[in-house]
Amino acid sequence: MADLINSDVFLAFSTYATIVILKMMFMAPLTAYFRLTRKAFQNWEDTAITKKDPEARKKMLQTNPDVERVRRCHQNDLENIIPFVVVGLLYALTGPDLSTALLHFRVFVGSRFIHTVSYVIGLPQPSRALSWVVGMITTFSMAYRVLTTVLLL
Amino acid sequence: MADLINSDVFLAFSTYATIVILKMMFMAPLTAYFRLTRKAFQNWEDTAITKKDPEARKKMLQTNPDVERVRRCHQNDLENIIPFVVVGLLYALTGPDLSTALLHFRVFVGSRFIHTVSYVIGLPQPSRALSWVVGMITTFSMAYRVLTTVLLL
Amino acid sequence: MADLINSDVFLAFSTYATIVILKMMFMAPLTAYFRLTRKAFQNWEDTAITKKDPEARKKMLQTNPDVERVRRCHQNDLENIIPFVVVGLLYALTGPDLSTALLHFRVFVGSRFIHTVSYVIGLPQPSRALSWVVGMITTFSMAYRVLTTVLLL
């Protein structure tokens, strides 16, 4: 694993990991946007943003389908992007070919952008399911290389 | 911290981190399995998988105790396995003894497998609570070594 | 990126990342504390901790506002602290000035402690919103440096 942290593969990993983490972080402002436009909050103190009347504020403590959809997409990102980052970091340190590594990183990041669009817009299945499966397989493929290269139990 | 990325401890960390991340990722297909067999979905577009009749599809937009149980287990994995991976990576770079490091990694990963079985099957307490506490203590122990070795505030 | 893993910046990153991960982990015992004192559980097997009577146990399968508030705070930590750790690790490897790096790490970790206090106590807005935004901006600033330094698409 020597000097691999200086390699092009590690630079590529850093680039794609940062991009996909930024995509994941973008779900938070999107949730805030839907909460504000749909007037659907979870905390009493948040309802004071638009109105002061206690009765009007109580009504804003509600769930909204659009907000919940974005939150589920965010949760799915946490469940898939973080494993990608962890496994991808270790994978980059096993010294794979740059072209193979780029293929993995590009397919994964692409699949997550398609997943987000499919989820937030609510495209007919299996668009969301397929993009999720493609991302999972990419991470499994990298995990397979890590385990067959570094195995020390 | 020099050259520690080439050490046996780092190889051991890579192995156990990948295994426990794969275990965490396994919760997603398990959730999908329970959603399909219990016919309990959260998105309108998902309900088209089995039936086309709108009335039958509406009934599938429900919560199911088995699905929720697996989802809580997945969430607990996120809350515990990711801190282990982060702290474990930094711990591996502090150059601990291989035997001490292996003890930490094995106890943590073992505790999370027991936790998953306890949670999904619903074993009587304190089996789940104990396995959770053991995992927490392992991560705290590694965090203690990191902070006492590298502290720079 | 050579030898940067031995740098003071990496030591500082390790310190602050460990501290903020420990802060995140602390939300779990806090949730357990509120569950036990408010008698609000999600799993049937957990309700046996205090009482044995089935009727009394059924009543404990409830949601409680204090528990839910801590859980939302924990979730917000997952959504913000993990991106910080990932981006911060890559940022530390780009070799920034120690003083600039320390500024980023201190502002982020400080903002998350203020966020937790604001959320758990329920301080009036915009205390929680501001602390959340400050943390996001810090991570964006580090991501900007990573992308402009290592970009390899």
Chain A neighbors of C143, CB-CB under 8 A: 18, 21-22
d(C-alpha B54, C-alpha B77), whole Å: 36
**Chain B hits for C25, Cβ within 8 Å:** 79-80, 83, 136, 139-140
The fraction of chain B above a pLDDT of 70, given in percent, is 96
pLDDT at C48: 81
Query: Are the beta carbons of A7 and A102 closer than 8 angstroms?
Result: no
| Three-class SS of C53-119 | CHHHHHHCCCCCHHHHHHHHHHHHHHHHHHHHHHHHHHHHCCCCCHHHHHHHHHHHHHHHHHHHHHH
- The model's confidence at residue C1, banded by pLDDT at 50, 70 and 90, is very low
> Of A59-68, B50-59, B73-82, where does the model show the most confidence?
B73-82
Task: State the pTM of this model.
Answer: 0.92
| Whole-angstrom distance, CA of residue A19 vs CA of residue C42 | 36
Please name the member of C12, C44, C45 whose beta carbon is closest to the beta carbon of B152: C12
Q: Is the pLDDT of residue C3 over 60?
A: no
pLDDT confidence of residue C46? 84
- pLDDT > 70: percent of chain C: 96
Q: How confident is the model at residue A57 (pLDDT cuts 50, 70, 90)?
A: confident
pLDDT digits (tens, 9 = 90+) for A117-132: 999 998 888 899 999 9
Residues of chain C with C-beta less than 8 angstroms from the C-beta of B140: 22, 25
pLDDT level of residue C2 (50, 70, 90 thresholds) = very low
> For residue B115, what pLDDT is reported?
96
The residue-averaged pLDDT of B79-90 equals 96
Q: Which residue has the tokens 């946490």?
A: A78
Q: Which CATH class is domain C4-26+64-150?
A: mainly alpha
Is residue B120 within 8 A of residue B111, CB to CB? The reply is no
Least trusted range by pLDDT, from A51-60, A83-92, C20-29? A51-60
Chain-centre distance for alpha carbon C143? 18
Closest CA to C82 of C25, C149, C1, C121: C25
Sort out which chain A residues have CB atoms less than 8 A from B12's CB and list them: 152-153
Q: How many CB atoms lie within 10 A of CB B83?
A: 26
What is the ipTM metric for this complex?
0.90
> Are B117 and B69 spatial neighbours (Cβ–Cβ below 8 Å)?
no
Task: Please compute the mean of the pLDDT values over residues C141-146 and round it to a whole number.
Answer: 95
Place of tokens 């991560």: B139
Q: Do B143 and C42 touch (CB under 8 A)?
A: no
pLDDT at C72: 95
Amino acid at residue number B123:
L
- From the list B24, C82, C84, B35, the residue with the least C-alpha distance to A136 is B24
Q: Is the pLDDT of residue B49 over 90?
A: no
The CA distances from residue B84 to A66, A92, B79, B108, in Å, are 33, 20, 9, 8
Question: What is the rounded distance in angstroms from the CA atom of residue C97 to the CA atom of residue B7?
Answer: 28
Q: What is the structure's pLDDT at C62?
A: 84
Per-residue tokens: C38:
């408010």
Give the pLDDT mean for A68-84: 96
**What is the pLDDT averaged over residues B37-41?**
88
Chain C residues interacting with chain A (CB cutoff of 8 angstroms): 1-2, 5, 68-69, 72, 78-80, 82-83, 86-87, 90, 93, 119, 122-125, 128, 136, 139-140, 143, 146-147, 150-153
Q: Residue A5 has what pLDDT?
A: 64
Which residue is it, tokens 């801590």? C70
Residue B98: pLDDT over 60: yes
So what's the pLDDT on residue B4? 57
Please report, as a single letter, which amino acid is at residue B79: E
In angstroms, what separates the C-alpha of B143 from chain C's closest C-alpha? 6
Question: Higher confidence at residue A87 or residue C41?
Answer: A87
Q: Which residue has the higher pLDDT, A3 or A135?
A: A135
Pick the CATH number of A4-150 from 1.10.530.10, 2.120.10.30, 1.10.3720.10, 1.20.120.550: 1.20.120.550
Using CA atoms, how far apart are residues A100 and B139, in angstroms rounded to an integer?
34
Rounded Cα–Cα distance for residues B21 and B33 (Å): 19
User: How big is chain B by its Cα radius of gyration, in Å?
Assistant: 20
Instruction: State the Cα–Cα distance between residues C102 and C96, nearest whole angstrom.
Output: 10
Structural domain boundaries in chain C: 4-26+64-150
The answer, yes or no, to whether residue A89 has pLDDT greater than 60, is: yes
Chain C residue nearest residue B5, CA to CA: C5
Q: Using one digit for the tens of pLDDT, what is the confidence trace for C26-64?
A: 999 999 999 989 888 888 888 887 777 888 888 888 888
Question: What span, in angstroms and rounded, lies between the C-alpha atoms of A147 and A152?
Answer: 9
Residue A123 vs residues A20, A117, A129, B45: alpha-carbon distances, Å? 21, 8, 10, 7
Distance between A47 CA and the closest CA of chain C, angstroms: 9
The secondary structure of A48-100, three-state, reads: HHCCCCHHHHHHCCCCCHHHHHHHHHHHHHHHHHHHHHHHHHHHHCCCCCHHH
Q: In chain A, which residues have their Cβ closer than 8 Å to the Cβ of C146?
A: 14-15, 18
Instruction: Report the pLDDT value the prediction gives residue A77, as an integer from 0 to 100.
Output: 96
pLDDT at residue B102 in the model: 96
